[in-house]
Homo-oligomer: A and B are copies of this chain.
Amino acid sequence: MKLNCDMGESFGQWQMGCDEAIMPHIDMANIACGFHASDPVTMDKTVKLAKLHHVTIGAHPGYPDLQGFGRRAMHMSPNEIVSMVQYQVGALGAICQANQVKLSYVKPHGALYHAMMQDGKVMTALMQGISALNMDLALMIQANREAERWAQLAKSVNLPLWFEAFADRRYQDTGELMPRSQAGAQLELDEMLSQAQSLFRQQQVISQGGQPLGLKADTLCVHGDNPAAVAAIAKLAHMRDSLEQN
């Protein structure tokens, strides 16, 4: 199972994240595209860093809201969302081409990701809009109980779909993530490693209420905002490698 992580979230003079420390440990970099974070220079730098470590590159488009880091819900029509995502994907795609490296997938960010998972019209529009780009891209979405439905829809527009699970976020009994605003939403290191192991081995997580939830995931989303989180990602990568060797 691949590890994916949000990368390139600095903006102008403002630094965010520990990209150089994390990049060696991950397989897929979700690179911000300038609407909720990043700027052209940061994108170029992040693409170069991903290339150096042979990390697969994905576009991480978000709402046009730097101040809110793309985490504030904004009302936009599916059509507006599609054009906005095509714009950001193309922008990062060009910077990839200038660096002679491939852009492989799209993973919407923050409130846009949430809108996509909540609203079938947004999901459908995004699938069509990304497929229409003819850029040989996959779409990364959350593994949940509707996975089969989304898989069929994606197939109908000829779009590869990659499902992700979350290593460091607690799942509710419904299969949804507990909102960040609630206590306990973020897992501690031990819990995180345990949840990841459960995903690697049994393709399931244990929900908040103690229920096992089956989750077929292609990739595991990790976060690395501080040195402790970076260390946790390194441990996770190591555990994954050990399991795969056996």
Residues on A facing B (Cβ under 8 Å)? 10-16, 34, 39-41, 43-44, 64-69, 71-76, 79-80, 83-84, 86-95, 97-98, 111, 129, 132-135
- Copies of this chain assembled into the complex: 4
Whether B95 contacts A40 by the Cβ 8 Å rule is no
List B contacts of A15 (CB < 8 A).
14
A143 CB to closest chain B CB (Å) equals 25
Whether A43 contacts B11 by the Cβ 8 Å rule is no
List B contacts of A73 (CB < 8 A).
73-75
Whether B13 contacts A69 by the Cβ 8 Å rule is yes
Whether A135 contacts B94 by the Cβ 8 Å rule is yes
Docked Cα-Cα span, A204 to B54, in Å, equals: 54
With beta carbons under 8 angstroms apart, the residue of B72, B92, B134 that contacts A76 is: B72
Docked Cα-Cα span, A111 to B88, in Å, equals: 24
List B contacts of A87 (CB < 8 A).
34, 40, 43, 91, 94-95
